[in-house]
Amino acid sequence: MPTISDKGLKMPESPIRKLVPFAEKARKANKHIYHLNIGQPDIESPKQAMEAVANHGVKVLAYSRSEGSDTYREKIAAYYQRQDIPVSAEDMIVTTGGSEALLFAMGSICDAGDEVIIPEPFYANYNGFATASGVKIVPVNSKIEDNFALPPISEFEKLISPKTKAILICNPGNPTGYLYSKEEIQTLAEIVKKHDLFLVADEVYREFTYDGLKHYSVLQEAGLDQHAIIIDSVSKRYSMCGARIGCLVSKNPQVIATAMKFAQARLSPPTFAQIASEAALETPQSYFDDVIEEYKDRRDTLVAHLREIPGVQVGVPKGAFYCIVQLPVKDSDAFAQWLLESFDVDGETVMVAPAAGFYSSPGVGKNQVRIAYVLNKESLIKAVTILKEALKQYPN
């Protein structure tokens, strides 16, 4: 009998999507589910993007350039320059979502068995991308008690080995919502320069920062041109998750030339989605002002109501639209499944993402969940009210 690959067997399930069968069963039982489990914004996509596709005028849906169209890359470069990130169209490759950009980055800088240090908890799919690339994740733990701030430099340095090729961060963070300060980025810059490593920064939530704080990109830091790689995407910035357009950005010409070979192997990023994404770059600042104000209100509402639940601890997000919540349960996987299978309040329940899948260290995060505050405030309040009642009734 043919056998499945060892890599395939080791490929982790998504902690965000593995509960979908239970949600489908709950939906068939006529339960209403408040989805706090997935980062799918309910904000409307910019009308400029939708109109560009509706009025495209394309007669033949042809391949685009492997690196993405010239006009789109030039407009992305102009966008970055407005963010004080000095790059050109030649410094980037358009990818099929930020996911492909991460795969291209790992494929370009790592060989099988190489190591990447990542502060945990981290975006769960980093586990999958690493497994697919034959790369070992070496976690450095950040703690809810410290609001998931960057661990001390000593914690990183004791993990660096001859196999270490990079440090990978998400800034602002999924799943924590933590925003690294300029000083923390400079700390990371010192480490990668000292040990001749790459610093890969997943910056897809760049716009979403709160309380007057500003995002500081790794490519704004002087002296990192040969070390820094940015992963980016239109998914969350423009509420265009289904477009599947991202990009890999680096001032290191070898990184771009190597990633280009991966881009050529998959032929090209999707044409219509590039048309939409190029038009989205014309979105006025007022769109972001309104969206950021809405997310800040949602964050404040969510955190305030969660803090009213006995035994609950919550990290306060400085950016993105996620938070890690520590619950008075032993196993959040079992609790999340129970919410869907066995619990409701007047026919309503909630779906959360168990947090253990956002860690690489075994057994860590078992009593935590990630909550995405992508619902309106009224729905968030209702969802937390249901969660509070569920914790009262949960038998375990």
Whole-prediction pTM: 0.96
How confident is the model over 61-80, as a mean pLDDT?
A: 97
Per cent of the chain over pLDDT 70 is 100
pLDDT of amino acid 164 = 98
Q: What is the pLDDT of residues 137-191, one digit of tens each?
A: 999 999 999 999 999 999 999 999 999 999 999 999 999 999 999 999 999 999 9
pLDDT of amino acid 206 = 96
Fold of 61-280: Aspartate Aminotransferase; domain 2 (3.40.640)
- Ranges of each domain in the chain: 6-44+286-393, 61-280
Q: What is the pLDDT of residues 224-275, one digit of tens each?
A: 999 999 999 999 999 999 999 999 999 999 999 999 999 999 999 999 999 9
Residue type, 221: E
How confident is the model over 327-353, as a mean pLDDT?
A: 97
How confident is the model over 354-374, as a mean pLDDT?
A: 95
Average of per-residue pLDDT values in the chain: 96
pLDDT of amino acid 307 = 97
pLDDT of amino acid 16 = 74
Prior bond to 175 cis, omega within 30? yes
CATH 3.90.1150.10 fits domain 6-44+286-393 = yes
Rg (Cα) of the chain, in Å, rounded?
A: 21
For residue 192, which of 100, 88, 102, 109 has the smallest C-alpha distance? Answer: 109
Query: Could you write out the DSSP letters of every residue in 136-196?
Result: EEEEEE--GGGTTPPPPHHHHHTT--TTEEEEEEESS-TTT-----HHHHHHHHHHHHHHT
Helix (H) or strand (E) holding 232: strand 228-233
Q: Sorting pLDDT into bands at 50, 70 and 90, what band is 389?
A: very high
pLDDT of amino acid 396 = 76
Asked whether the predicted pLDDT for residue 91 surpasses 90, the reply is: yes
